[in-house]
Amino acid sequence: MGRETGPPMAQLRAASALQRLVPPLVVLAMQAEQARWNGRGPSAIVLRDLADALAADVAAWTGRVAERAAALGFAVDARPTTVAGAGDPFLAGAGALHDPEAAHRLLGSLEHAADVSRHSVEDLRDTDQVARRIAVDTLEGLDRHRWMLRAHDALARCGLDSSAS
């Protein structure tokens, strides 16, 4: 019998790139829920709808990332201590979040996750094309939500209610 070897280097690099995606996505999902539950102000209903859609999409993307890592023979680490170390400077505090702060913090967390996703897409270029497609899909979705949140944030900062349009 031959000696068992570990996973090929390409799989290790792919799993590492996928793992880097998990903490910022988990933080973003939590930030979206925080904004959804605690958003206050004239456009809270619109923010709630945006945050609800974002949380659902992020949960789906995070699941795809974790499932691909499992298919490569690895398990992602989404423990609270790992997620807490994600380095997101936009974490919301406890209690009510008033517009435009709520939208601004959520947008900051989204942009942080998009930056990590963009780096993962590049890191996956020569490793695992299925994992790269998942990272590209995640980045594409984050960009779509960023566009909507930027519009909402701009209206909130101007004192306009985005639900009136």
pTM of the model: 0.86
Asked if residue 93 belongs to a domain, the reply is: no
101 contacts: CB under 8 Å, gap ≥ 6: none
**CA 32, CA 105: separation in Å to the nearest integer?**
10
**What's 58's domain CATH number?**
1.20.1260.10
pLDDT digits (tens, 9 = 90+) for 7-54: 688 899 999 999 999 999 999 999 899 888 888 888 888 889 999 999
Asked if residue 152 belongs to a domain, the reply is: yes
Q: Write down the pLDDT at residue 78.
A: 92
Q: Which one has a higher pLDDT value, 104 or 49?
A: 49
Number of domains in the chain: 1
For every residue of 13-80, DSSP letters joined together read HHHHHHHHHHHHHHHHHHHHHHHHHHEESTTHHHHHHHHHHHHHHHHHHHHHHHHHHHHTT------H
| Both tokens assigned to 112 | 């942080």
Asked if residue 150 belongs to a domain, the reply is: yes
Phi, psi of 79 (to 5 degrees): -65, 155
67, 21 contact by CB (below 8 A): no
Asked if residue 90 belongs to a domain, the reply is: no
Q: Write down the pLDDT at residue 4.
A: 44
User: Residue 123's domain spans which residues?
Assistant: 9-76+98-159
Q: Write down the pLDDT at residue 92.
A: 62
Asked if residue 22 belongs to a domain, the reply is: yes
Question: Burial level of 91, CB count in 10 A (0-12/13-18/19+)?
Answer: middle
Asked if residue 89 belongs to a domain, the reply is: no
Q: Write down the pLDDT at residue 2.
A: 46
The pLDDT of 142-164, averaged and rounded, is 77
